[in-house]
Amino acid sequence: MTHPGGETAELPVEPPVAAAAFGDQLAGARRYVELLAGEGVVRGLIGPREVPRLWERHVLNSVAVAEAVPHGARVVDVGSGAGLPGIPLALARPDLALTLVEPMARRVEFLTHVVQELGTDWSVVRGRAEEKSVVRAVGQVDVVTARAVAPLPRLVGWVRGMLRPGAQLVALVGAKAAAEVPDLVPELAAAGMRDVHVRPVGADLGEAATQVVVMTRTGR
């Protein structure tokens, strides 16, 4: 694989745990990593320095979310960017129905290309999660995922219209954001969310293990 200008894109080393994480979808995961390392860098969706750690830091890190997503769920990945965490999640969990929501045209083009390359039936919707047209296109779903999209109260405001009562928001967050969660519970409760908690995920994924904030929309 070469980038414009002729330089060769080195593919990251695939960790042994990838085979167990993706099962019979491993070929699709490998192709996705190739696309991230090639077109993803060319389009500015992935920094060149991220390529060596695409598997652990991005792809398997996203797969860890699977532990917090119920079987057969309709999942919307908001602010999907290069498809993280939605695409690795849906590859590892073929039982899920996935919609990728992203406002930026060049990212939408990349996501659409990935969906075509992988031969999946995932949907790509251009727009912001809070836009009425996007909510109409997506409908109400079981789970919304997000990775480093916005502070949690703002994120809840954006996605609540997509969450049916009892549906969950599963947000991949860093250590700093996770530490702030207890202080945010009253604000999140006022926004119509309950059972807000931080959950460690991906313990069997080695250094890709991470944590998510999970919360459930109230019935009102």
Q: Residue 200 has what DSSP assignment?
A: E
Residue 147 annotated in ligand binding: yes
Residue 130 annotated in ligand binding: yes
Alpha-helix residue ranges (DSSP H) falling in 5-151? 17-22, 26-35, 41-42, 61-63, 86-92, 105-118, 132-138
Helix axes 26-35, 105-118, angle to 10 degrees: 150
Residues 151 and 161 sit within 8 Å (Cβ to Cβ) = no
Pairing of strands 141-147, 163-172: parallel
Burial profile 201-218: b = 16 or more Cβ within 10 angstroms, e = fewer: bbeebeebebbbbbbbbe
Among 99, 81, 80, CA closest to 90: 99
Q: Which residues are annotated as a binding site?
A: 79, 84, 129-130, 147
Query: Which residues carry a binding-site annotation for S-adenosyl-L-methionine?
Result: 79, 84, 129-130, 147
